[in-house]
Amino acid sequence: MVLKTGGATDPAVPVRRTIPRAEHNVSRSQISENALKVLYRLKKAGYQSHLVGGGVRDLMLGREPKDFDIATDAHPEDIRRLFRNCRLIGRRFRIAHVHFGPEIIEVTTFRGQAAGDEEEGDGLVRSDEGRLLRDNVFGTIEEDAWRRDFTVNALYYNIEDFSITDFVGGVADLEAGTLRLIGDPQLRYREDPVRMLRAVRFAAKLGFRLEGQTERGVYDYGHLLADISPSRLFDESVKLFLSGHAVQSFELMRHYGIFGHLYPDTEEALAHEEHHFPLTLVLRAMENTDARVAEGKPVTPAFLYAALLWEPVRRMAEELLAENPDLSRLNALQAASARMVAQQAQRTAVPKRFSIPMREIWTLQARLQHTSGKRPLRLLTHPRFRAAYDFLLLRAEAGEEKQELAEWWTRFQLMESAEQQRAAQAGAPAEGGRRRRPRRRRRSAASGSRSES
């Protein structure tokens, strides 16, 4: 890291460092054509124009960026005047989205430091707890760098001369594999507690270690996540678990004690279940999800959330059956599912487009127990059958359900119609699940067969 020397008031504060094109590996050929269009049009109009954030970070690491973000001194209204395909979004901080078909280039104005804690109009406004409620204070590129979250996300690629500018020691941290918050972690986590989830996500994605104070803050301030809206926490959970690094994210969240703030019922079940059964189930679901992402296959939060919350649902259904022996397992699962979705909505609000299929996956587990008569044939036509069947396989692999039942349904789907009729008359060897100690084996990426429907 390049540090101030010779009388600096704080010798630990990095100074601005400019890396010329000849000394870094970022090339325009690696940047999206549409991002280049935006960069050059801003430059032509007389504005500063920089690629910033994860795009620069990933390119410097030799990775392919997921998206390309741009920072400029042009204000949001200026950006909208330059691009007819632009939409302004956001209330806390105005952001310009420039649309090129399915690709969106995000353009932000350099953020600045407010003179006080509150300003009139569209300035910076904090809650009593220090959380940022509004952040429309514009400033210089250097101020913008110090307002970003992690040093490795505060690198600027200048389209003017193709250099990279580093104000906060991001290059040194990139080389060291260190994830470091910019500024005081206590203040930054209080400003936006979601930064703790972002720290976990980037650590899992990049394979970086958290710098000491950055790490201690995650341990200390997890309770602040209760101040974040459940809908935003759901969106952050999707980024954590559906970006190809679900297993590492899950393990880090539990390590730092923040998993329980988002999924308290699951955390309680994981802590008390014998043989660590739920941990096996959740990990297998996440391994399969990571494998699908790696293979370019579609994934949906519905299936993964079904796995995340299944153990609390199952336990709740068993309690209902114990209280009312005349209740059917299907009705018990339906009641438990509705209760669990309502409880979880207080932490991460699962949209109905995911919670409805998630509940169907759960309740179909009871219907999959019936392998005789006409019910198996009717169940094959259910729109959620494939996802429910894949969930049954997951439960069998984890040792929660009989392997014979999963194998019966596997064979049943491959039979001709006449064979299915005969198999339905005979039924499966045995119905009803039982718990067995799971085998501590992880599925390989090649073995993932789940259909995320």
CB-CB contact of 171 with 17 (8 Å): yes
CA distances in angstroms from 39 to 108, 157, 292, listed in the order given? 12, 10, 34
Tokens standing for 404? 């014979």
Active site residue 149: yes
In this structure, which amino acid lies at residue 185?
P
Identify the sign of the CA torsion 201, 252, 61, 149.
Answer: positive
Residues whose CB falls within 8 Å of the CB of residue 265, separated by 6 or more in sequence, listed in order? 309, 312, 340, 343, 344
Active-site hit among 73, 135, 149, 192: 149
Q: What is the DSSP letter of 274?
A: G
Active site residue 235: no
In this structure, which amino acid lies at residue 32?
S
Tokens standing for 145? 């760098």
Active-site hit among 58, 69, 144, 166: 69
- Distance in angstroms (rounded) separating the CA atoms of residues 187 and 208: 22
Tokens standing for 343? 């409880």
Beta strands 17-19 and 164-166 are antiparallel
Active-site hit among 67, 78, 122, 220: 67
Tokens standing for 74? 């042009």
Residue 328 Ramachandran class (φ > 0 left, ψ -120 to 50 alpha, else beta): beta
CB-CB contact of 269 with 315 (8 Å): yes
Tokens standing for 160? 């003017």
CA–chain centroid gap for 37, Å, is 29
Residue 391: Cβ within 10 Å count:
25
Residue 18, φ and ψ in degrees, nearest 5:
-110, 125
CA distances in angstroms from 16 to 130, 210, 371, listed in the order given? 28, 23, 69
The residues with which 373 forms a beta bridge, in sequence order, are none
Residues whose CB falls within 8 Å of the CB of residue 338, separated by 6 or more in sequence, listed in order? 359
CA angle 145, 177, 72 (to 5 degrees): 20
Q: What is the DSSP letter of 373?
A: T
Residue 451, φ and ψ in degrees, nearest 5:
-100, 115
Residue 415 Ramachandran class (φ > 0 left, ψ -120 to 50 alpha, else beta): beta
Catalytic residue list: 67, 69, 149
